[in-house]
Structure 1
């Protein structure tokens, strides 16, 4: 699964965002997060500080990986219909993260390692998980055998994200812990 961008403008925006993020991660690795300024990042990425803020809002936001959530949710909706919602989510995560380039995977790993180390960024983790709960809650409407009631879909989405949060906490890109934890949840929901 690849990011498909239509039009020159969207591609340019994506490339600019990636350039800013890569330079920021490089500088954070070389100088430390606290010792790196937005101005230094902007200069290294050949953009203005104003452009940086248009893309990221705050310096800590660079640590959040490229927004994989919409891609995961799209793959979740498109997952084979016979899969349970939890298995469909596992399938979607595998599809999206399995398609990352080595460079993108390395950037995500560095960003997530720093995300857990920088106290100022911890609120972003919470916000990303809440966003993911909302996206999954909405996407569950497209899955067979998902609860018809919105509150039930929200609880299921919250359980899935809670398991992800528990398994991934302080562990950047946990390749085995999250699928294992989601399998446990799926087994408990199936009984």
Structure 2
């Protein structure tokens, strides 16, 4: 497959086939997440306990904690365990002479589009909760900081720099911060806007400044 063709391949199509053990783990993770989302929809985030989630998913509380360290992680976890790795792999498929912001725009808008297509209800509930639950917003910030480290590696490799260089770290963190604000902006306005368009608009701000 050419670099350009690979760049336009959905992230999930580039994942290697899962073995039986991995499929069972993914099934359990998915059951836990769906149980929690169902309970939150019925009774709210604060009223939903780990014990209730475990019972609804037909697993033990210890199993829930084995897959998710906290209740916040269940909400914010993406469909695939290797989300950051998939983003990093997708970024490495972009043309080496493409401006870094354009490469990140292509990869991140594809990821957002995939989530909106594959899990629209969860995406809407997740972002809504981010605006309502301080602990979730804080955990989202931590998660995006981890993702920015994943983005820094291929960006640094392309530029012949160290991923820990200040400029590389600032650039990757700025992009993820912009994505975070786009998600919150979308949720705060009842998710009426086109989220992909908002992400593009946000990244345009990084390129040209706020134009105030």
Normalised by the length of structure 2, the TM-score is 0.77
TM-superposed CA distance for 1:151, in Å, is 2.0
Q: What do the CA deviations read for 1:16-51 (whole angstroms, capped 9, x no partner)?
A: 111110110011011111111111111111111100
Distance in structure 1 (CA, Å) of the matches to 2:21 and 2:145: 29
Q: Give the aligned partner of residue 114 of structure 2.
A: 99
TM-superposed CA distance for 1:123, in Å, is 1.9
Structure 2 residue runs without a partner (length 5+): 1-10
Q: Give the aligned partner of residue 181 of structure 1.
A: 202
- The answer to whether the Cα contact below 8 Å between 1:133 and 1:154 also exists between their aligned partners in 2 is yes
Distance in structure 1 (CA, Å) of the matches to 2:135 and 2:202: 28
Q: What do the CA deviations read for 1:75-94 (whole angstroms, capped 9, x no partner)?
A: 11212333211111111123
Q: Give the aligned partner of residue 31 of structure 2.
A: 19
Distance in structure 1 (CA, Å) of the matches to 2:113 and 2:182: 19
Q: Give the aligned partner of residue 47 of structure 2.
A: 35
Q: Give the aligned partner of residue 8 of structure 2.
A: none
Aligned-residue RMSD, C-alpha: 2.2
Q: Give the aligned partner of residue 5 of structure 2.
A: none
Distance in structure 2 (CA, Å) of the matches to 1:155 and 1:100: 26
- The answer to whether the Cα contact below 8 Å between 1:79 and 1:88 also exists between their aligned partners in 2 is yes
Q: Give the aligned partner of residue 69 of structure 1.
A: 84
What's the secondary structure of 2:129's corresponding residue?
helix
TM-superposed CA distance for 1:4, in Å, is 3.7
Normalised by the length of structure 1, the TM-score is 0.85
Q: 1:53 to 1:125 in 2, by over 3 A?
A: same
Q: What do the CA deviations read for 1:119-178 (whole angstroms, capped 9, x no partner)?
A: 2222201211211221111221333xx362522211211222232233333534832222
Q: Give the aligned partner of residue 131 of structure 1.
A: 146
Q: Give the aligned partner of residue 83 of structure 1.
A: 98
Structure 1 residue runs without a partner (length 5+): none
- The answer to whether the Cα contact below 8 Å between 1:71 and 1:96 also exists between their aligned partners in 2 is no
Q: Which moves more between the two structures, 158-167 or 119-128?
A: 158-167
What's the secondary structure of 1:176's corresponding residue?
helix
- The answer to whether the Cα contact below 8 Å between 2:113 and 2:196 also exists between their aligned partners in 1 is no
